[in-house]
A and B are shown apart, each in its own frame.
Chain A
Amino acid sequence: MTQSRVLVIGGGLAGLSATMRLAELGVHVDLVSLVPVKRSHSVCAQGGINSVNAVTRQQGDNEYKHLDDTVYGGDFLQHQPPVKEMADWAPRIIDLMDRLGVPFNRTPEGFRDQRRFGGTLYKRTSFAGATTGQQLLYSLDEQVRRWEAEGRVKKWEFWDFLEPVMDDDGRCIGAVCQDMVTMKFKAFSADAVILASGGCGLLYGRSTMSMICTGSAVSRAYKAGVKYGNAEFIQVHPTAVPGADKLRLMSESARGEGGRVWVPRKAQDARDPKDIPVAERYYFLEERYPEYGNLVPRDIATREIFDICTTDGLSVDKDRLCVYLDLTHIPRETLDRKLGGILEIYEKFQGVDPREAPMKIFPAVHYSMGGLWVDYEKSETGGLLEGSPRNQQTNITGLYAIGECDYQYHGANRLGANSLLSCIFSGLFCASGVIAGAKKNTRDETSPDFVSAVKRQEERHQAILSRPVGDSNPYDIHRQLGDIMTRTATVVRRNEQLSQAYDEVCQLENVWEHCSLSDTGNWTNQNVIFTKSVGDMFPLAKLILKGALLRDECRGAHYKPDFSMPGIAATEPAEQKAEAERWCDRFEENTRKWLKSTIGVHGDDGHPVITYEDIDTTLIPPRPRLYGLVGGEVIEQVWKERSEKATEPVTVG
């Protein structure tokens, strides 16, 4: 039998784990990436990767609770079977990465050490210094290099994916890519194509993401007909360090290791923070969320930090919004051992030692929960059926999506240290299904489907290069797009602003159509590659804005104050109870109306067409997410009574 051939776009954690597993199963893999895969964005991940482990298990933890934390943290907006499967696989994935040589931190006895991350009460997070993503990526990169040496994998680095190619039956049979050095185009024929192209943070101008996270590959797939799910759910990380070129992440592990967030009680207190007595410090997360303290889920921490600076006016600096993230009470030696890498980043880029002075941080765009729509096949036990070609397959047969670029695992909000897991999981897990569904593709790159696709791309490229000299340039347009998106589609969202932003983005897209290039050559022309990727940001930006505009509710990272459900105002127990009943009524109604994935399809007129998809919540019924809500206990009590009633056996009379 001839060897099957799979094309993988992207060599981050997701793409590399899929490549490794496919190669192991005898498939030839062509691996395409904008940069050498070892330089993919996954290297940036600092904090760690989640799984139930031997210790937490003995403290009452299990895979079901990992599933529960993930869907509760995600505000129930994800299908539960894939999440269950992921949580079940997690311990095995950590074991595997351990075997591959990832230098996880160790306990004195030589076991893997774990720390606690946001949104859970267990220490589930394994970590390798403060560079967990780098270490995970390298160990997969090494395995893939091993397969490359065997001739099973061929890498195409510094190549840009431009479009998937479909046959007459609509089945994906390959793709067109461009060599970013020679600027030549090439068609890749394949039995299946896997997109593993990561997030789209650059839509927001500056974010915590790498310069290659343009979302271009995803946008091109979307324009070719792939459905996109939950676009409006963009995670804003609570703690980043503002910089001119990038907003550098300060990992949640800084709080996991005991970092405390505070502001002086007196606005813009000019004293050295160390001279401010404890009584004059406002540890607002600890005060407002006694149970989780500094480790509340991300969306909540973000909103609180944002609010304390904007609404309460308690920003540490006047001209730059920020709060303190303080580690100075922790011994130097501990900090160096557990957080060395990230503290060095702060020191290197800010010129201040965070072991000596509290860091100044503010929220920044960090992760896209939404992504390409993918399917799954449910197993009898409520997880996924291994080997089913439907798993991770988009609505185009033969075209798969894995890692940050799919919409599958994190719902309305991702828990810290769950993304590295979903990337490796989806990569490993999809392989058997991809092989089962692969259909020997007999067309080679000279067949008409490929030839016409290449021609189309060459023409687009040429048209951009030959635009007349104008006065707008792609860098400016990108900055403007980032400003609009950051202003309107991050922490707080309002309908008037969103619809205005939508119009502005459409106008800006027109400006882009005429922006001129400063380089019209045909050798390593980064100018034209960037211009194309900026152009491809518009469809996704419109999708995010439209999705956010239509979704009149608050869920996870999507927060609209006009539709928020405040806590209980009453003080009398009876009134409280009545209010809680009304709250729960409203919650149930909202669930019926909005507990649905937003599905976007690229319309012929360039505007997204939005529909909604029901969610499989068969494992864990949705319940209110009450972190820190005033009167939360009363609501919880009422909710409990209702759910007990709902599950009581019905007596047939």
Chain B
Amino acid sequence: MISASTSTIPEVEPEEKRVPQEIRVRVLRQDAPSEESYWQQFAIPYEPNMNVISVLQRIAAIAKSQDGRRVPPVAWDCACLEEVCGSCAMLINGRARMACSSLVDNLFEETPGEIELRPLTKFPVVRDLSVDRGRIFNSLERVKAWVPVDDSYDHGPGPRISPEEQEDAYPLTTCISCGCCMEACPQFNKIEVVQREGETADDFDARKQTAYDEQFLGPHAISQAVLFNSHPTGSMNSDERMQALTGRGGIQMCGNAQNCVAVCPKRIPLTRSIARAGRAATVWAIKKFFDR
């Protein structure tokens, strides 16, 4: 049959294919930063073709835990619901992935009838499944992930680009800054800066950015550096990017474990980017040595 919805209609019913009545959801909750986390169970009726977002929407609407207690709805982030905004990354059955593109029917093949949701562990929890991923954008700034144009006035078209170059660059431009690769990376550690008593929002933010500046950039940012270094105009400030890549928290931190590429929802060729960045870093180091 063609449609996924019709294929879930139980015709011949082998034992394991029986449609479940309800979905039991275990959520690791945390009321605020620096609070203790705790597990809470929810149960909602099963419907065909659900994703984890619609599960969370049902939980928000009933706002009761499995034992019938009124509880505040679970906090989580989402926007596009089609895996292109990068908002909804979380640990689903222990694996970093996007809630919107995680279909309940597929998850049930891992754990029939049950789903476990936890916040990403490499980013500070804001509340429940919502985490502070500002560090992802901080890394993009560190590697100067932009084309250094003169201005936004008309200067005619950009450089000619062959279809091969376009096809090479395109996958890298589809990174949604979700954080899954960082979650999986053994070299990427959680940095949690806690606001001090009486500290202004600006001071707190500045302290956070400084703390991030010293730490591993993460695979996504390495990949973006490669992207912009390969762009004809982008390459004009490749030196600055190489400086960031070879500086503290740069490419040398990467142990090549390749966990990142395995979890990337957009299947971005991160290991290829990392290998390219590694080679470029070596060349750059030699060049710098002779330029002295």
Q: Which residues of A contact B (CB under 8 A)?
A: 17, 20-21, 24, 35-36, 38-41, 43-44, 92, 94-96, 98-101, 103-112, 128-129, 131, 134-135, 138-139, 142-143, 145-146, 148-149, 181, 210-212, 243-246, 248, 272-273, 317, 320, 337, 341, 345, 348-352, 357-358, 360, 428, 473, 475-476, 518-519, 521, 523-524, 526-527
Q: Which A residues are in CB contact (< 8 Å) with B7?
A: 351
Binds A, one of B84-92, B185-193, B249-257, B269-277: B84-92
- B32-91, CB < 8 A from A: 32, 47, 49-51, 53-54, 57, 60-61, 63, 70-73, 75, 77-87
**For the complex, is B208 an interface residue (Cβ under 8 Å from A)?**
no
Given A99-B155, A103-B173, 11 additional A-B pairs, CB 8 A? A24-B151, A35-B85, A38-B86, A95-B157, A112-B157, A210-B81, A211-B78, A244-B51, A248-B82, A337-B167, A518-B72
* CB pair A95 B154 closer than 8 Å: yes
Report how far A345 CA is from B141 CA in the complex, Å: 30
Closest Cβ–Cβ distance, residue A299 to chain B (whole Å): 24
**For the complex, is B12 an interface residue (Cβ under 8 Å from A)?**
no
Contact of A131 among B31, B75, B174 (CB under 8 A): B174
Task: Evaluate whether A21 and B152 lie within 8 angstroms (CB atoms) in the complex, with A100-B147, A101-B231 already known.
Answer: yes
What mask results when residues 137 to 163 of chain B are scored 1 for a CB within 8 Å of chain A, else 0?
A: 100110011111101101111101111
**For the complex, is B228 an interface residue (Cβ under 8 Å from A)?**
yes
* CB pair B86 A39 closer than 8 Å: yes
What mask results when residues 94 to 109 of chain B are scored 1 for a CB within 8 Å of chain A, else 0?
A: 0000001101010000
Closest Cβ–Cβ distance, residue A251 to chain B (whole Å): 11
* CB pair A44 B80 closer than 8 Å: yes
Q: Which A residues are in CB contact (< 8 Å) with B223?
A: none
* CB pair B147 A524 closer than 8 Å: no
Closest Cβ–Cβ distance, residue A353 to chain B (whole Å): 10
Q: Which B residues are in CB contact (< 8 Å) with A149?
A: 141
The 8 residue pairs across chains A and B that have the minimum distance between CB atoms: A518-B63, A142-B146, A98-B158, A519-B72, A524-B127, A475-B61, A110-B160, A39-B85
Task: Evaluate whether A110 and B163 lie within 8 angstroms (CB atoms) in the complex, with A38-B86, A244-B50 already known.
Answer: yes
Report how far A202 CA is from B101 CA in the complex, Å: 20
Which residue of chain B lies nearest to A109 when distances are taken between CB atoms in the complex?
A: B160
* CB pair B152 A20 closer than 8 Å: yes
Main secondary structure of the interface of B (DSSP, over half): loop
* CB pair A245 B169 closer than 8 Å: no
Q: Which B residues are in CB contact (< 8 Å) with A17?
A: 152
Report how far A99 CA is from B50 CA in the complex, Å: 41
Report how far A245 CA is from B166 CA in the complex, Å: 34
Task: Evaluate whether A317 and B3 lie within 8 angstroms (CB atoms) in the complex, with A21-B152, A98-B158 already known.
Answer: yes
Q: Which B residues are in CB contact (< 8 Å) with A476?
A: 61
**For the complex, is B119 an interface residue (Cβ under 8 Å from A)?**
no
Report how far A100 CA is from B72 CA in the complex, Å: 44
Q: Which A residues are in CB contact (< 8 Å) with B161?
A: 103, 106, 110
Closest Cβ–Cβ distance, residue B150 to chain A (whole Å): 9
Q: List 21 A-B contacts (CB under 8 A).
A: A35-B85, A39-B80, A39-B86, A41-B85, A44-B82, A92-B154, A99-B157, A101-B146, A101-B234, A106-B165, A134-B176, A135-B173, A143-B146, A210-B79, A337-B167, A349-B51, A349-B82, A350-B3, A358-B2, A360-B3, A527-B73
